[in-house]
Structure 1
C-alpha cells in the first residue's frame, strides 16, 4: 500500500481528500505541527506528498524546497491559486505537478496513479525509496548522508554503502567476503586491510554524530552492527 502525506490546513478539504483516498486503499497521513513539516515528512517517509501553497508559518514553496533537499518523492501541489506564475514557481521549487482547487477527485486520483507508475511502478528507473530509517537513524541514499538527532554527516560512497549493508542487517553478522564483494568490483586486487581501514573510518564518522561502539568486529567471521543509540 502506498502512503500519501497530505499538507493541507483547510480541515474540510483535508478530511475530504483523506476519506476519498482511504477508500482506494491508500494510507493517508497528515501534518500535526506546521512548523515541523520536514521533520514529520522524515518520520512518515511517504511515497507521495500533496502540498498546499497557503500554509501557516511558511508557504508551500518553502516546504517543497525543504523536502526536495532530502528526497525525490513526487510532490503534487493542490492550491486555489491559479495564476501561471504560481504554477511556474511550484515546478521551479521542486514540484512535480499542480492541481487547481476546486478539483475533480478523479483528476487527483489519476495524477497520483501516474506519479506512482513513474516513480515506483512500470515506468520507474529505480523503485527504492530515498530514505532508509532504523530506530531514528536516517540514511539519505541519494546524498550519502546519515542523520541522528538532527546531526548530519556526508559519507564517502564506500562508507555509505558499508553502513547501509550493516544497518540493513542489524544484529546479524555480515562476513568480510560479502562486504568486499558488495563494495569492490574485483576483490582479487583488494588488500585485506582495506576493509578494516574503511570500517575504522566509518566508526569515527558515526562518533561525530554521537553513535558509539555500534560496529563490532566478530573475529574470524566479519562485522555486526548493533543498536547502541537511544
Structure 2
C-alpha cells in the first residue's frame, strides 16, 4: 500500500478488500483471510486492518463471526444494462418485484455552461432540473439529477411524479422512443448527501454515470448525473 494524499490507509485497504470480494477472490471459503494475513498482505498493522473491516461491516459487506473470523455477506446485486436504449424499469426488469421512481425536487433554472453544452442549448436558455430517487423492493438503487430543455418539457416534473418513470413521462411529450448517446462511468467515495439519501456508510463506493439521451432524430432531450451504490448495482455494457 502507498500513502495517498487525503486517503487513509484503512480506507485504501477497505477499497481493495471490497474489490477482491466483488471479483470473487474469496468465494471458495466465503471467509476473509485472518487479520494477520491481511495485515501481512497489505504491509500494515492489525489495527489498520480492523478499521478497514469495521467500515466494510458497517456497509453490510462483511460480518464478524465469533470463533470463525470475518464472513462475507452474500447479497445479490441488481444488474443494470447500459446500451443504445437504456431504461431503468426494463433494465432491472424481473430482478425486483416493486420498482418505484420518486421525485425529490424540481425547478426551472438557467442551464450551467456544462448543461447547456450537453443539451446543445444557447446562453440564457432555461432548463427543467429534476432530482429523483429510484427504488427496487424498497431499497434505494440510484439518485439522479436530470436536466431537460424547458422549451420542450415544461411540466415533466408533474409527469414523472405521477408515473414514477422517465420513459412514461417522456411519452406524454410525444417521445415514444429515445436513444442513449453516451454514458460516462466513474467510481468515487460516497459524499455526505449520498450517505444520507442512499442509506450508505461513510466511505462507501458509488458508481457515477454522466449520460445523455436523444430523441430518434438525434436532438438532446435529457442529461443526467446518477449515483448508484456499488454494493447494490453492477453495470453490463451492451452494444
User: Is TM more than 0.5 here?
Assistant: no
**Which of the pair is proportionally richer in strand?**
2
Larger relative contact order (Cα-Cα within 8 Å, sequence gap ≥ 6): 2
**Which of the pair is proportionally richer in helix?**
1
Q: Scaled by the length of structure 2, what TM-score is found?
A: 0.22
